[in-house]
Amino acid sequence: MKQAEERHEARLQRVQQCASVFVTEQIMKQRQYVGSMEAEGDLWLGQGLQHRTWELPLTPARVLCCSQWNCCAVHIRRTSSSAPGSKVIVFEKLFGELCFSAAVLQETPNAQTREQRPLIGSPPAEDSGKHSIKARVAITQGEVDVETLKRPIYLKPPPDSNAQGEWGRATRLNLNSEEKKQEQDSIERYAINIYASDKISLHRHIEDNRMHECKSKTYDIRHLPTTSVVIAFYNEAWSTLLRTIHSVLETTPAILLKEIILVDDLSDRGYLKSQLEEYISNLERVRLIRTNKREGLVRARLIGATYATGDVLTFLDCHCECVPGWMEPLLERIAEKQDTVICPVIDTIDWNTFEFYMQTDEPMVGGFDWRLTFQWHSVPSADRKERKSRIDPIRSPTMAGGLFAVSKSYFEYLGTYDTGMEVWGGENLELSFRVWQCGGSLEIHPCSHVGHVFPKKAPYARPKFLQNTVRAAEVWMDSYKDLFYNRNPPARKVTYGDISDRILLRERLKCRSFDWYLKNIYPDLHVPEDRPDWHGAVRSGGIPSECLDYNAPDHNPTGAHLSLFGCHGQGGNQYFEYTSYKEICFNSITELCAEYTNGQNHIGMKHCPRDGEPVPPTIVWEFRDDGSIYHPLSDKCITAYRTAEGRTDVQMQKCSSENMNQNWKFE
């Protein structure tokens, strides 16, 4: 018995040893699809499987083809269409998964000996599982309809319209005091209402409200590349992580999904240990990799990419839900243009109610401000005019970074991620600059939609965010990096590590300048003048501890007034630029100009005119030799003062050369 077990183990090892060479050197170079062929003898077929065939100069042989969960026996045979001396090796695609662990086990004189030696992993005589059937006639390419090809590994259970959150609706819970405390505790712990998430099915349906052109579009799925979905996580909540996994498994055609690779970045929550391992052991094509030290998002994703076997890497965050039809547009675009990094439309899932907000029209594209913070903005009119259809991919200057697909070979050619970056933050802009400057393209596909839970706040600290951003600026921005440093004075003092290998990468790939990027990829971004001595903090001469400050409310950049606040030297809210057009610009986040209209005491902010547009007199200011900031239209000056409560502020008053509270200087 022991000898038989040893022989069996040796045979399996031989399969594994041969597989990589066999697949790499023979199959991957000669992959093609062919039409109908007659089978020699019985073949065991999986549900929905297809033929993939290669013409190879091999003698008849027996081949063992095993996947991680299922096995199928395949043999080499001659067909009438084969060239003299050639054979056709037929791989059965079992449950949509190509059996890649393949090796020639034993040459045989003819096909008749096939019945004499059962192959390892061959199926039982009778159907014993819900997924496999015994068939004598091979299913051909032409007989497989589109709906079969689109079938995912798992089907969602029927929708329950009475269930919480079904169809992406908001979850409304009537809670007692103890339950409300549990809900609040979950929000404090995860920055997401996990108490509500736990009440929602892991398999909930999302209403497909994409543009009708997207829903009616068909894809040649047989010729699309395969993908590995990489999901890195750290202390993620149970229900949001599993809902992400099931969403991928239940919306991605099985023929396209090689695997889901989960990368646990040293989580310390108990449920993410053996409980998670046991759960995913019952799921097909889900792999779990654990790091042995905290790596951060960038390196954790790279670890997952190293293990990936798909043609395309698809990166997702660990709290997402995919809309049916999300994967095909991404893979089709990469098949058309391999040097494209393609992103889905990122729909918002409310962190509190889990309501799914789908962008149903033209999506926003990515940009950045001069603090190097990612920003969304509308599609430029020039780009809109160039598109032939509203479902064509849209080029985007930058990407949010959490969700995108890229050819694995192109990702490696491009230098993957900058592994000198820590945790997360800044890697999205670095990769965006690199893609465009080094000859690739970055796009968003209107037909691919993935919902993302945006937490109430960052769930864990990003102490290295500024370091990461400085690395991106130093490698890719050339002299334009000074615009970033001017708005982030502390960044000049940051230790950002060795970037010599990234500089060499840029030289080796013959990448273009940042000036080229701004003029050709992001021409709508205003480039500040930052004239010497006319930018920085504006300090009051009358109250020397105070500087001009602007602190706009979220989602309303013009919703506040110019004010005074203690000078902090950190840029940000206290960074202003005086332009050659006599504007006082606050352009750390968006291009805003100080504005004063008669009848008001306060100084507001409005969006600056675009380059080349006339400058309205309400935003024209003069810095006079006596240190005052004069507004010609109103004939008044900016004046610092203290309120009755002792708080400092600014207002417009009649100009007086003797009033030190009207004295200001840049520093």
Q: What is the pLDDT of residue 233?
A: 96
Identify whether the C-beta of residue 291 lies closer than 8 Å to the C-beta of residue 303.
yes
Taking all residues of the chain, what is their mean pLDDT, rounded to a whole number?
Answer: 81
For 243-257, the pLDDT digits (tens) are 999 999 999 999 999
Q: What is the pLDDT of residue 599?
A: 81
Please give the domain boundaries of the chain with CATH numbers for all domains. Answer: 2-144 (no CATH), 182-453 (3.90.550.10), 535-666 (2.80.10.50)
Q: What is the pLDDT of residue 203?
A: 97
Q: Which two tokens stand for residue 211?
A: 């543009």
Please check the confidence at residue 23 and state whether its pLDDT lies above 50: no
Q: Which of 293, 198, 283, 299 is nearest to 246 (CA)?
A: 283
User: Cα 426 to the chain's mean position, in Å?
Assistant: 13
Give the number of other Cβ atoms within 10 Å of residue 544's Cβ.
12
At residue 414, the 3 state secondary structure works out as: coil
Question: Of the ranges 68-77, 315-324, 341-350, 449-458, which one carries the lowest mean pLDDT score?
Answer: 68-77
What Cα–Cα distance (Å) separates residue 161 from each residue in 140, 172, 320, 354?
A: 39, 14, 21, 16
Q: What is the pLDDT of residue 444?
A: 97
Give the number of other Cβ atoms within 10 Å of residue 148's Cβ.
17
Q: How far apart are CA 338 and CA 293, in angstroms?
A: 34
Q: What is the pLDDT of residue 459?
A: 66
Average pLDDT of the segment spanning 637-643: 95
Which DSSP letter does residue 660 get?
Answer: G
Give the pLDDT band of residue 167 (cuts 50, 70, 90): very high
Average pLDDT of the segment spanning 608-613: 88
Q: What is the pLDDT of residue 466?
A: 87
For 463-483, the pLDDT digits (tens) are 677 899 999 999 999 999 999
Q: Which of 169, 197, 170 is nearest to 183 (CA)?
A: 197
Q: What is the pLDDT of residue 460?
A: 61
For 374-422, the pLDDT digits (tens) are 999 999 988 998 889 999 999 999 999 889 999 999 999 999 999 888 7
Identify whether the C-beta of residue 192 lies closer than 8 Å to the C-beta of residue 276.
no
Q: What is the pLDDT of residue 461?
A: 62
